A and B are shown apart, each in its own frame.
Chain A
Amino acid sequence: MRKASRGLTAVASAVLLLGVAACGTDSGSDGKSSGAPGGQGFTPPDIPMQKSIGPMEGQVNILAWPGYAEDGSNDATVDWVTPFETATGCQANVKYFATSDEAVQLMKSGEYDVVSASGDATLRLIAGGDVAPVNTDLLKNYGGIESFLKNQPFNSVDGQMYGVPHGWGANLLMYNTEKVNPAPTSWAAVFDDASQYAGKVTAYDSPIYIADAALYLMNTQPDLGIKDPYALDKDQLAAAVDLLKKQKDNISEYWSDYLKEVQAFENGDSLVGTTWQVIASLAESDGAPVKAFLPSEGSTGWSDTWMISSKAKNPNCGYAWMDYITSPQAQAAVAEYFGEAPANTGACELTTDPTFCDTYHAKDAAFAKQIHYWTTPIEQCLDGRTDVKCTDYGDWTTAWTEIKG
């Protein structure tokens, strides 16, 4: 489980310098190397970018977050995959994944052409050489995407986009409206006050959930000096781990399979816990008395990017999918179903709820800044501290195993 620290350090410092290093990078000739020596900048493996769109291959293998590629099998009225298949002749084979780690793992298999990656997966995929740069000129709908989502540290390297922004949103707190009184307003409901609902609390089963605890500590224990929930030094991580260990006594189960959480809320095994809007919508549509909201402390969240595999067998259908899924029509459908802000705000005209984009602050760059997007914790503190070493994702994975015990 120990890192190969030299390589990691190089990558990590490189990532940190990402914003400033605009030139002077040599192209990594070694396909496996993930860090540039000398820390001139973050140098991903040299992977060619597609120049033009060729004939469609007839199918595309899509790896997506649950709810991002609905073909009507979950809900007959929710279907934006079939129109894509009809228009392009590409049969869409969709696989949903439960955590970013799983997405990274599956992308390494080379079986998938495109993936909807969150910020805690994107850089790992780029650095690992698993995804190719994206030629945005080949995408008709790229122009409609909000500019504050383009050329971000988590989806581009040196001004080269490695994907198309899909949408963004916050992790929410969901509770059972019949059994949880009074209605919670803060994440305290799953941390300090969790014992009220002992054995009925649920939490997301991934090391990245440690950031949720860190965010809570950032608000309740300012002495710890947490500035960024993804930049935790050893002591701060220990505090977050303590909080999560206390929380564990009250947890009924951790969820990563979204359908398992829907079911747990429907039959009352879980009463309160972190969730995504799509889970709340599914539970509600099944008649469960649940409500999901953004607690007062703010929240962690995600900003997702469609990326194309460096080993894509169906790159043309892959580009067709990336273009289609970021079109205003598809974006309106996905965003409303999943409950997130669409990246292409052309979608705002097409949503069934005319105020949808206002509710999700889709055009509000300032609001978007307040969400702590999932990102990969690395040794160099993301909050700019240079006097301490921060804990990296490997440390978080070990900590998560320890928390679960």
Chain B
Amino acid sequence: MLWLGVAYLGALAALLVTSLWTQNDFTGNIERSWNLDNFRDLFTIGVYRTITLRTIGIAALVTVVDAVLAFPIALFMAKVASPRWQRLLVIAVLMPLWASYLVKAYAWRGMLSSDGLLQSVLSPFGLGTPGYGLPATTMTLAYLWLPYMILPIYAGLERLPDSLFEASADLGAGSWTTLRRVVLPMVFPAFVAGSIFTFSLTMGDYIAVKIVGGTSQLLGNVVYDNQGAANNLPFAAAVATVPIVVMLAYLAAVRRTGALEQL
């Protein structure tokens, strides 16, 4: 516990401290004079607000897409498939996690390219690849984080006794009503648990955007550009506090739903 406190919270504290320093633009050396300039820039320069809103929007969108895609899969795995199939499906869902993140992102880059798979499949229907940009980023991230949404929902549905389905049917509810009035409210905490993964992972992502995002940038890219390229560690630290604050707000909201107790 102490170890966790030092290693984890200590690193976060160091990050916050760094964000209060400043950087010499010419030599790139950090100058340890205390000020709030980084945060002032962060709030007053409009582009950072735009990027923050865009990042939150993408994170929310990825979460919704994943929830919509994951539920039918999880429902099938938990309630329809035979035990043998269940095991195979769990392995199948976990399988993509064995492959490297980069391989999967570059695979999407290939598929989305203008002579890629999507183009050749969609062109007979008069459609084309969306090209590199935010739609491509959303697709790629939704694909990457899908297992993190499926597994909690699957676990939540597993715990749901079959007798509830029967009781609901006995009381005259159709399968749609059962789904809506019985299943969804009961697995809602599982959705929330999954959304914590998809939302937070998207908030911090910068690699997928770099690979398939075209010209767009998210908060992660601003951090990366300031740290890795412009060498402005204090400002990067200031930017990095934004996702932390957003996640804390999100977790606080989640806590109110009571979903955290059921994890």
A34 touches B29 (CB 8 A): yes
Taking CB atoms, residues of chain B closer than 8 Å to A394 are 25, 232
Given A207-B230, A251-B215, the answer on whether A8 and B114 have CB atoms closer than 8 Å is no
Stretch at the interface among A19-27, A102-110, A218-226, A272-280: A102-110
Give the total of B residues in contact with A, Cβ under 8 Å: 39
B229 touches A101 (CB 8 A): yes
If over half of B's interface residues share one DSSP class (helix, strand or loop), that class is named, otherwise mixed; here it is: loop
Q: Is B86 an interface residue (CB 8 A)?
A: no
Beta-carbon contacts under 8 Å, A82-115 to B: 99, 101-102, 104-105, 108
B27 touches A268 (CB 8 A): no
B229 touches A105 (CB 8 A): yes
Partner of A405, one of B116, B217, B228, B230: B217
Q: Give the nearest-CB partner of A34 in chain B.
A: B27
Distance between B43 CB and nearest chain A CB, rounded to angstroms:
12
Taking CB atoms, residues of chain B closer than 8 Å to A340 are none
A242 to B45, CA, bound (A): 17
Which size bracket describes the interface of A in this complex?
Answer: 35 or more
Stretch at the interface among A58-66, A183-191, A311-319, A395-403: A395-403
A392 to B26, CA, bound (A): 8
Taking CB atoms, residues of chain A closer than 8 Å to B50 are 405
As a 0/1 sequence over residues 38 to 82 of chain A, the CB contacts with chain B under 8 angstroms (1 = contact) are: 000000000000000000000000000000000000000000000
A108 to B232, CA, bound (A): 12
Taking CB atoms, residues of chain A closer than 8 Å to B213 are 253
B37 touches A34 (CB 8 A): no
A206 to B45, CA, bound (A): 19
As a 0/1 sequence over residues 30 to 60 of chain B, the CB contacts with chain A under 8 angstroms (1 = contact) are: 0101000110010001011011000000000
Distance between B18 CB and nearest chain A CB, rounded to angstroms:
14
Q: Give the nearest-CB partner of B50 in chain A.
A: A405
Most central of A104, A105, A129 by chain B CB within 10 Å = A105
A8 touches B24 (CB 8 A): yes
Distance between B125 CB and nearest chain A CB, rounded to angstroms:
20
Q: Is B28 an interface residue (CB 8 A)?
A: yes
A2 to B41, CA, bound (A): 8
Q: Is B202 an interface residue (CB 8 A)?
A: no
Taking CB atoms, residues of chain A closer than 8 Å to B232 are 1, 394, 397
A127 touches B230 (CB 8 A): no
A267 touches B38 (CB 8 A): no
A235 to B22, CA, bound (A): 26
As a 0/1 sequence over residues 208 to 252 of chain B, the CB contacts with chain A under 8 angstroms (1 = contact) are: 000001111100001001111111100100000000000000000
A108 touches B231 (CB 8 A): yes
A207 to B23, CA, bound (A): 17
Q: Is B168 an interface residue (CB 8 A)?
A: no
B37 touches A128 (CB 8 A): no
Partner of A105, one of B47, B132, B231: B231
Q: Is B115 an interface residue (CB 8 A)?
A: yes
Distance between A280 CB and nearest chain B CB, rounded to angstroms:
20
Taking CB atoms, residues of chain A closer than 8 Å to B31 are 4, 7
A393 touches B214 (CB 8 A): no
A101 touches B115 (CB 8 A): no
Q: Is B194 an interface residue (CB 8 A)?
A: no
A8 touches B26 (CB 8 A): yes
Beyond the given pairs A267-B114, A392-B26, A404-B215, 6 more chain A to chain B contacts, judged by CB atoms under 8 angstroms and listed by A's residue number, are A104-B28, A105-B28, A253-B132, A268-B114, A397-B226, A401-B225
